[in-house]
Amino acid sequence: MKQSDSRSASRMGTAPIPPLLFSLAIPMMISMLVQALYNIVDSIFVSYIDEAALSAVSLAFPVQNLLIAFAVGTGVGVNAHLSKCLGEGNQKEADRAAANGLFLSTVTYLVFLLFGLFAVRPFFFAQTDDPLIRDYGVAYLSIVLIFSFGCFWQCMLEKLLVATGRSSFAMMSQLAGAVANIILDPIFIFGMFGLPRLGAAGAAVATVGGQFIGMGVGLFLNLTKNHDIHLSLQGFRPSGRTIRRIYMVGIPSIAMQAIGSVMTFMMNAILIGFTSTAVAVFGVYFKMQSFVFMPIFGINNGMVPIISYNLGARKPDRIRATVKLAVAAAVSIMLAGFAVAQLLPDKLLGIFNASPEMLAMGVPALRIISLHFLIAGFSVVCSSLFQALGRGVLALWVSVIRQLVVLIPAAFLLSQLGNVNAVWWAFPIAEVVSGSLCAAFLVNCEKKILKPMSEPRPVELLD
């Protein structure tokens, strides 16, 4: 590898695993906790408009999550490919991966721009007959999609920083966007400092404003502090070969999160058959569970470049040590989240201005759904491991089977009992299946990828 400021990347192949993983993961955990906090704050402010606004934001979530799936999934593909190239000492391809990542983010934004301009109204009219929920939802989602360029570039620029071991700078970018969103939320939603009261649309304005600020910080840090890659669009041409390698990991990651959007859309369709309050409860759960899952995603963000680098450097023992530590940390976080959901569900729902009806429905919902936390930490880490090893299709299979083959059919069948509380049991049922699959695939990766790495390399590869 070139020695021009390559120490941040190369230490992933030499530094002790525990301090290395946590030095990469803790900044991302902090920034993602703040990210989760501002998602929750968003919903808290919206809930004080009325329950219809909270339901509208919940119905918008599948499309918003799909947008994030493409932004983050493409970034994950670039992260894994770029880190592997640095591990192999291939500086030219690493730079090419970064430039093509920014190109792909721009192209994907144009697709969501078209959706924001032409498809938002039909999307909401297909879900509800309530005119107030429709109006809130169309205003909110249109703004989020039309001005989503900041989201796409912010996610990509953060992944470039993480891929080269600069998680603390990625944290700065996320924190800048998240803090800006939290500050702007009440200003635009309730019309402070002489600005008009925008309601649910104000939450969207605050969201995209924060994303553009985060993008600006991320771009500045990449250009001035990230010396392991050289960002330049001068003479840039898309590389089909590089894009294929990015999407070998990126497409399964996108698909996994896109499946989450399909699952959410279908769950909303099942729940709205009971009452719109059930949709609001489900939306609140998703916001709250992100506060538990986001730190684990931070661990994964620290884990992926370590695994990818050591995959390129053929150091299987470092990969195994990283995975064991990541699983232990993830399970610990999930146990804490489980305890809070079991002991304080009414207090959590009260944060969202929950009505008596929403409390009556939400307390048992949180206690039942949170049972799947006991297994989910292991499953989430395994999914990121499969992607970092270039076996993203395994993570995709886990996601498809968990959410579409098990969770949605189980939720539909349980809904036929006529009691909304029965529907929530679909989550722990699906997680048992998911955890079992992850364990089987983990054994397969050990046999097919890690164990052969310990064997002598063929002469032609050494040349």
pLDDT tens digit string along 173-202? Answer: 988 998 898 899 999 999 998 899 999 899
**pTM of this prediction exceeds 0.75:** no
State the Cα–Cα distance between residues 268 and 260, nearest whole angstrom. Answer: 12
Quickly state the pLDDT bin for 62 (edges 50, 70, 90): confident
Residue 388, pLDDT score? 83
* Alpha carbon separation from 28 to 14, 57, 270 (Å, rounded): 21, 26, 35
pLDDT of residue 461: 45
Residues 311 and 389: beta-carbon distance below 8 Å: yes
Q: How high is the pLDDT of residue 335?
A: 95
Top-confidence residue, 108 or 313: 108
Break the chain into its structural domains and give their ranges: 16-454
Average pLDDT estimate for 374-392: 89
pLDDT of residue 78: 92
Average pLDDT (19-29) is: 80
Most confident among 11-25, 222-236, 397-411 (mean pLDDT)? 397-411
The mean-pLDDT minimum among 38-42, 153-157, 212-216 falls in 38-42
Contacts of 292 (CB under 8 A, 6+ apart): 333, 334, 336, 337, 373
238 vs 453: which has the higher pLDDT: 238
| Tally of CA atoms within 13 A in the half-sphere of 351 that contains its CB | 14
- With contact defined as beta carbons under 8 Å apart, do 102 and 135 qualify? no
For residues 203-211, average pLDDT: 93
CA 358 to chain CA centroid, Å, is 27
Q: What pLDDT, on a 0 to 100 scale, did the predictor assign at position 39?
A: 67
pLDDT > 90 fraction of the chain, expressed in percent and rounded: 47
Pure H helices in 226-315: 240-271, 276-312
Residues 6+ apart with CB under 8 A from 38: 178, 179, 181, 182, 185, 210
